[in-house]
């Protein structure tokens, strides 16, 4: 095998793989092509069957005509004999023999052609059934393909959702919630230690000390008044 022959075979191999890949990616086109090819063959078969049917009908018509003609000859022969027309009677007898022979041949041909016609019509009907079956198969297989592709797509989507990613997301949420809670706790803890709180405490203590001083002053003043009143009462009794 020469170099160019080997190269041709390699190229045919690559071409076959390329065509196969196209077919796998577009099965609908493959089905359509197969259906169209069968429809074309069906038309050719129908044309051939019509030829057989035509020949059957033609043979049938000729057989009927020859049978009718034989009947007429059979009626003419006795008349020719009665009238002494021997020559005409001989011709009619010869014609009768020819007609009977032709009728026998036509009957055999008609039986054979009729069988072929029936067989061809049966094949034509069966072939039409195969086309319809292929159309149904196309619909079912394409639906199955679409369903399988959808399932594969869903599975790929699910496979893309990593469990680790889900766990990490949950951990982030939990950590964020814990941080928020800690912020709330810290706010409560440092509330008593804040500068404003300290100023409030000092202000409260200052107000309390002032009130206490005022109370002591009032008590002192009241005691002085009582002592003064008592001294005055003593002076009166003396």
All structural domains of the chain with their residue ranges: 3-161, 162-191, 203-238
For the chain, helix (H) and strand (E) counts, in that order, are 5, 0
Answer yes or no: are the C-beta atoms of 110 and 53 closer than 8 Å.
no
Answer yes or no: are the C-beta atoms of 101 and 63 closer than 8 Å.
no
Instruction: Say whether pLDDT at 14 is over 50.
Output: no
Rg (CA), the chain: 61
pLDDT band at 10 (very low <50, low <70, confident <90, very high): very low
Q: Specify the pLDDT at position 97.
A: 94
pLDDT cut 90: percent of the chain above it: 24
**Which pairs from 71-75 meet CB under 8 Å and 24+ separation?**
73/99
pLDDT tens track for 31-86: 888 889 989 988 888 888 899 999 999 999 999 999 999 999 999 999 989 988 88
The DSSP secondary-structure symbol of 2 reads -
pLDDT band at 17 (very low <50, low <70, confident <90, very high): very low
Beta-carbon count within 10 A of 129 CB: 10
Instruction: Say whether pLDDT at 161 is over 60.
Output: no
Nearest CA among 128, 135, 127 for reference residue 32: 135
State the fold for domain 3-161: Helix Hairpins (1.10.287)
pLDDT tens track for 208-221: 777 777 877 888 88
Beta-carbon count within 10 A of 5 CB: 9
Average pLDDT, the chain: 79
Instruction: Say whether pLDDT at 146 is over 80.
Output: yes
pLDDT band at 205 (very low <50, low <70, confident <90, very high): confident
What does the alpha-carbon distance between residue 119 and residue 48 come to, in Å, rounded to a whole number? 12
> What are the structure tokens assigned to 39, written together?
């429809």
Is the pTM higher than 0.75?
Answer: no
Q: Specify the pLDDT at position 123.
A: 87
pLDDT band at 23 (very low <50, low <70, confident <90, very high): low
- Torsions phi, psi for 33 (to 5 deg): -65, -40
């Amino acid at each position: 095998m020469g170099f160019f022959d080997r190269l041709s075979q390699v190229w045919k191999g690559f071409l076959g793989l390329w065509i196969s890949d196209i077919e796998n990616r577009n099965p609908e086109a493959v089905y359509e092509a197969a259906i169209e090819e069968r429809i074309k063959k069906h038309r050719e078969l129908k044309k051939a069957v019509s030829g057989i049917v035509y020949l059957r009908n033609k043979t049938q018509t000729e057989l009927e005509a020859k049978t009718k003609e034989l009947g007429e000859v059979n009626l003419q022969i006795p008349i020719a004999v009665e009238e002494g027309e021997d020559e005409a009677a001989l011709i009619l007898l010869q014609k009768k023999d020819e007609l009977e022979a032709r009728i026998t041949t036509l009957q055999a041909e008609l039986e054979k052609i009729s069988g072929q016609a029936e067989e061809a019509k049966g094949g034509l009907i069966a072939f039409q059934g195969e086309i319809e079956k292929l159309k149904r198969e196309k619909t079912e297989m394409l639906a199955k393909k679409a369903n399988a592709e959808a399932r594969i797509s869903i599975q790929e989507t699910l496979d893309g959702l990593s469990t680790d990613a889900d766990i990490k997301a949950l951990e982030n949420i939990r950590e964020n919630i814990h941080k928020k809670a800690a912020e709330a706790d810290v706010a409560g803890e440092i509330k008593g230690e804040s500068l404003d709180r300290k100023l409030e405490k000092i202000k409260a203590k200052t107000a309390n000390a002032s009130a206490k001083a005022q109370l002591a002053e009032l008590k002192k003043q009241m005691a002085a008044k009582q002592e003064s009143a008592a001294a005055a009462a003593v002076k009166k009794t003396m």
